[in-house]
Amino acid sequence: MFARHFFFFLPLLILSCALAACAPRTSRPTIDPKQTADEVLIQKELVARDYAERERRLHRVAAPLLMRNADLCGDKVKGFTGLYVAQRDAFEDEWRSSVSKIYGLDGRIHVVEVLPDTPAERVGVRVGDVVLALDGTELTQNRKGLYRFQEAMEDQADKGAFSLTLERDGARQEVRVTPVPACDYPVVFEGKEEVNAYATGTHILITKGMVRFCGKDDELAVAMAHELAHNTMGHIDAQAANRMAGTAVDAVFAVLGVRTNRAFTRLGDGAFSQEFEHEADYVGQYYAARAGFDISVAGEFWRRMAVDSPEAITESYTHPTTPERYVALEAARAEIERKKALGEPLVPEMKPSPSPAEPAKAETKKKR
């Protein structure tokens, strides 16, 4: 019995002796736990402030991109106000007090962001205003009231103008907000550190790491415009359809007893992926230029991406980081600059739609 215990504890004994040999040997000043607790709050507030600033930057860049390309987004358009609101209890317990401090939240529904050059800014809505009513209907000043208001304001923004009753410096005032059309592909901020961006078909996701990577707003606009183009050009649905077609072929072979190891699914997945990438670059250049951004940064931006994160920006198919991409981006820029100089409309050049009466001709065009 003793022997068994001895052999069990012997390694632990050796380990503790070894660790003791490596333990720190200085005698440092005693730390006040209260000071440590205060420092936790300070650091949390810094993290929350950093997060909020990056998210605000993302919204500032996204707004002109979505507003000024509304006429190219087909029926995927919604009413946009440029107004963001928050309520203290909508934040997780861990962050509630830090975020409340940053935005000055007191339990009521507060305006926390008003984007420049948007309908909300034009009628004088300010950060810090408390929203009391929408079209005369008083809001419940709690978390549920916030959600109900956000939903109602979105609905109303699609229909047309609406009034907001605000409280500022203790006084009530009313403003009438007239939303403008914007592409209905909301840009979502993801708190991840990786440098990445995605198009989902309905949304655009940009990571915190990507916001940091883009030193200039113009670069952030280029990344966002590329993803917007994936959505508007239907690449996500097309890729899913190609993948399904491949899966169907794999299934046929499986029935015949031939193992394909999903080769056709992978083939379908990759079909046109490079072309889709080039198309997203080309159309994205137009979107960014139309929103007033400097698109001359695009080539250098994708070069830096290639160096820094060769694996980054995937929507499950690869982005070309080839010299061809750089040259193509510069060619698109030259086309846009030429149109600007001639006062021509800034719209991407599209292939003529195939005429049902002349299928053979359309096929030849596609191959070229």
- Contact residues toward Zn ion (CB under 5 A) are 277, 280, 319
**Separation between Cα atoms, residue 146 and residue 279, nearest integer Å:** 40
Within 13 A of 128's CA, how many CA atoms are on the CB side?
Answer: 9
Phi/psi for 347 (5° steps) reads -130, 140
Distances 189 to 33, 75, 76, 204, 357 between C-alpha atoms, Å:
35, 24, 20, 9, 46
Q: Within 10 Å of residue 63's Cβ, how many Cβ atoms?
A: 19
User: DSSP for 265-334?
Assistant: HHHHHHTTHHHHHHHHHHHHHHHHHHTT--GGGHHHHHHHHHHH-TT-S-SSSPPP-SHHHHHHHHHHHH
Backbone φ and ψ for 50, nearest 5 degrees, come out as -60, -45
On the 0-12 / 13-18 / 19+ scale of CB atoms within 10 A, 339 is: middle
Report d(CA 307, CA 213) in Å as an integer: 12
**Smallest distance, Zn ion to C-beta of residue 48, A:** 31
Name the residue nearer to Zn ion (CB basis): 319 or 325.
Answer: 319
Q: How far is the CB of 320 from Zn ion (least distance, A)?
A: 9
Work out how close the CB of 315 gets to Zn ion at its nearest, in angstroms, rounded to a whole number.
6
* Cβ at position 129, least distance to Zn ion in Å: 39
Q: How far apart are CA 269 and CA 316, in angstroms?
A: 8
We find the least distance from the C-beta atom of residue 247 to Zn ion, in angstroms, to be 22
Taking the least distance from each CB to Zn ion, the nearer of 99 and 312 is 312
Residue 301 beta carbon to Zn ion: minimum distance, rounded to whole angstroms:
13
Q: Which is nearer to Zn ion, 269 or 277 (CB)?
A: 277
Nearer to Zn ion, 77 or 229 (CB): 229
Of the pair 105, 236, the CB lying nearest Zn ion is at 236
Q: Which is nearer to Zn ion, 131 or 199 (CB)?
A: 199
Is the distance from CB of 329 to CB of 285 less than 8 angstroms? yes
**Which of 112, 225 has the CB closer to Zn ion?**
225
Closest contact distance (angstroms) between CB of 212 and Zn ion is 20
